[in-house]
């Protein structure tokens, strides 16, 4: 196994079997019984810097709550001064993506078996009130017998009966259309959509919704624009058609999927285990005890405004999905004040530098600046000592941080002369081209067409936004 020289508790650490941005997974052996385990090692400093403490705690609590043959089990959590070690069940077959990389597509019987096990696991999660929200082949593991195991509950959420979720998260090609609306959604219905994408992918050897441009990709998802390969059977098409319903209210549910004729063939249900709802979290809390001490040493400045890829896409005027779910929504969205002007600019500077440039542009246009908060401000015409009433001008600018040295500036005018508004925008565009205080930031800004491919999808808890990580 290539064991390392040190142990963690009763576990001997071996080779690295997976690695992501914020963690790595090593193979381990329980010295008391010789059983193989997978040990996920998370750096506490990285957790703090990326505001991921809540996400890690939630993933551990969720995995402890679930006990099902098709869900990866968690054994215990061990904490050191700088690391968190999550000891999990070892699944020897690797990710489903590894299998798909050399077989391209699965035979119908094998695809059906994996889909049946996936639906059983997701149904068990939903009955426990857990919505996964990031179902994709990378998070589906295979054991030595070819059975499926669902893993990575870092973006999961507990949803009460009749409740809704609000955080848009997940992976672009697998996300349900309702998540793009920046409104509440049903986590269970969103998971069903993702399961359908996985089924299509293993049967077809390709994704149903795919495009290099995120705007075009989300348009395809919102309209359910896809084509079946020639070899798809009538039963497969019928089931997938009901899953890929853009309206979550009429989309097929998991109980209905289980009753489907194609799904029922050779179906052997897998039952989850009833466990004590009072999950012991002593090891979890102990693992995070010293993290507060680290926090006092490493003060992380919090951004006043941050944006994830879903919010960035929702800002596009070309992508309005509301009409899929709301009556007369197009009338509500399109009826804009004729005087209102909007513009978006890209900035290759830090958020503080960008705000300074906005203030400088306002000064060039003889405007006074009123700071609303750390990222939003309003501009007005400077009061002049004359008997004539000045024209009312109302321009607002909001800076949204996409990355430490990339921002989006949203400028809008609700009243006043268009000439002054254009003068301000022109001045700001020129200032944004100028070199930043940092030597590496010399590129020109772009209007509206921000390259979202270079922006990481940012997951988020229901309390916070945080960057999505590709943990193994």
- Known binding residues are 40
Q: E strand or H helix at 221, and its extent? A: helix 214-223
Is residue 132 within 8 Å of residue 124, measured between CB atoms? no
Which residues fall within 8 angstroms of residue 469, CB to CB, at 6 or more apart? 20, 21, 22, 23, 50, 52, 154, 459
The closest alpha carbon to 415, from 339, 335, 342, belongs to 339
Do the beta carbons of residue 302 and residue 375 sit within 8 Å?
no
- Cα distance between residue 247 and residue 329, in whole Å: 14
Specify the length of the chain in residues.
Answer: 472
Beta strands in 72-144 (DSSP E): 74-79, 83-89, 130-131, 140-142
> Annotated catalytic residue: which of 30, 43, 120, 134?
134
Task: Please indicate whether residue 337 is annotated as part of the active site.
Answer: no
Q: Around Cβ 41, how many Cβ atoms within 10 Å? A: 18
Q: With contact defined as beta carbons under 8 Å apart, do 403 and 306 qualify?
A: no
- Measuring CA to CA, how many Å separate 116 from each of 122, 126, 196, 336? 10, 15, 12, 48
Binding region for ATP: 40
Catalytically active residues are 134
């Amino acid at each position: 196994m290539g064991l390392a020289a040190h142990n963690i508790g009763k576990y001997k650490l071996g080779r690295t079997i997976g690695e992501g941005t914020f963690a790595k997974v090593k193979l381990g052996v329980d010295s008391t019984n010789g059983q193989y385990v997978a040990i996920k090692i998370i750096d506490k400093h990285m957790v703090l810097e990326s505001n991921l403490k809540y996400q890690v705690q939630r993933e551990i609590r969720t995995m402890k709550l679930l006990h099902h043959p098709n869900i990866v089990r968690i054994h215990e959590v061990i904490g050191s001064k700088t690391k968190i070690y999550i000891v999990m069940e070892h699944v020897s077959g690797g990710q489903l993506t590894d299998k798909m990389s050399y077989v391209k597509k699965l035979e119908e019987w094998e695809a059906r078996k994996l889909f049946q096990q996936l639906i059983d696991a997701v149904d068990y999660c939903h009955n426990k009130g857990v919505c996964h929200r990031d179902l994709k082949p990378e998070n589906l593991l295979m054991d030595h017998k070819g059975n499926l195991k669902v893993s990575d509950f870092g973006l999961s959420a507990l949803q009460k009966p009749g409740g809704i979720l609000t955080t848009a998260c997940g992976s672009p090609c697998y996300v349900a259309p309702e998540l793009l609306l920046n409104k509440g959604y049903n986590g269970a219905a969103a998971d069903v959509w993702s399961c359908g994408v996985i089924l299509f992918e293993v049967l077809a050897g390709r994704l149903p919704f795919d495009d290099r441009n995120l705007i075009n990709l989300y348009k395809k998802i919102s309209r359910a624009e896809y084509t079946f390969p020639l070899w798809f059977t009538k039963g497969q098409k019928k089931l997938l058609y009901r899953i890929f319903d853009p309206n979550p209210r009429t989309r097929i549910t998991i109980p209905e999927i289980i009753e489907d004729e194609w799904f029922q063939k050779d179906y052997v249900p897998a039952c989850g285990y009833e466990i004590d709802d009072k999950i012991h979290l002593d090891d979890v809390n102990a693992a995070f005890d010293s993290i507060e001490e680290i926090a006092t040493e490493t003060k992380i400045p919090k951004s006043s405004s941050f944006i994830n890829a879903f919010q960035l896409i929702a800002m596009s005027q070309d992508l309005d999905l509301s009409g899929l779910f709301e009556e007369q929504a197009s009338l509500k969205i399109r009826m804009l004040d004729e005087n209102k002007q909007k513009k978006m600019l890209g900035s290759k500077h830090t958020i503080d530098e960008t705000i300074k440039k906005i203030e400088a542009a306002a000064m060039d246009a003889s405007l006074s600046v009123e700071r609303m908060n750390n990222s939003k401000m309003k501009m007005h015409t400077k009061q002049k000592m004359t008997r004539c009433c000045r024209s009312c001008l109302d321009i607002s600018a909001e800076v949204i941080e996409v990355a430490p040295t990339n921002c989006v500036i949203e400028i809008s005018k609700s009243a006043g002369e268009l000439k002054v508004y254009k003068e301000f925008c022109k001045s700001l565009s020129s200032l944004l081209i100028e070199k930043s205080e940092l030597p590496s930031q010399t590129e020109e800004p772009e209007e509206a067409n921000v390259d979202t491919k270079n922006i990481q999808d940012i997951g988020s808890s229901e309390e916070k936004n945080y960057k999505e990580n590709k943990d193994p």
